[in-house]
Amino acid sequence: MNGKPVGSAIIYGQDTNMVYSSFVSLRGGRKDVDVVGASGFLGFDKDSKEYRISNKEKLVEQSLPGNYISLNTEDCKVYAEGKMDLGADLGQVKFNTIGIATHSTINDSATFELMSTIDFFFDKGALKKMVKDVKVFNITRTN
């Protein structure tokens, strides 16, 4: 768009602490983080009245893996699913998040349903003690 890059994502504005969406349009600030977005092929589904962006396979079968984003032309909602970037650099702690997000452009509200894994060093002795405590808790609870 006039030589500036466009994107399609649900975005977190770090300066404003706001969530907004971009669908084949200009982004906001330089520090803004694409929480979840998609690239690939753009299509339009007449039945749902949605523009959709993803890889070819996911556009045909939405249950397949990969990032996906859509814009509904009737209710102006942007829906996205896939791997998410929550903008946190935690050093040696690896934080992986996937899920779905919806941004309503009419009332400027967003919802997120997330699942995360956290990968970090954990002392084996402490882990064994924790496992033992959990086993004791489960045995006590079932009796």
Tens-digit pLDDT profile for residues 35-78? 999 999 999 999 999 999 999 999 999 999 999 999 999 999 99
85-112 pLDDT, tens digit each: 887 777 788 888 999 999 999 999 999 9
Distance CA 77, CA 50 (A): 9
Name residue, tokens 């397949």: 64
CB burial readout 41-52, b (16+ within 10 A) else e: eeeeeeeeebbb
The count of other CB atoms within 10 Å of the CB of residue 91 is: 6
User: Bridge-partner residues for 102, per DSSP?
Assistant: 79, 111
Residue 107 pLDDT: 93
Tokens matching residue 22: 């971009």
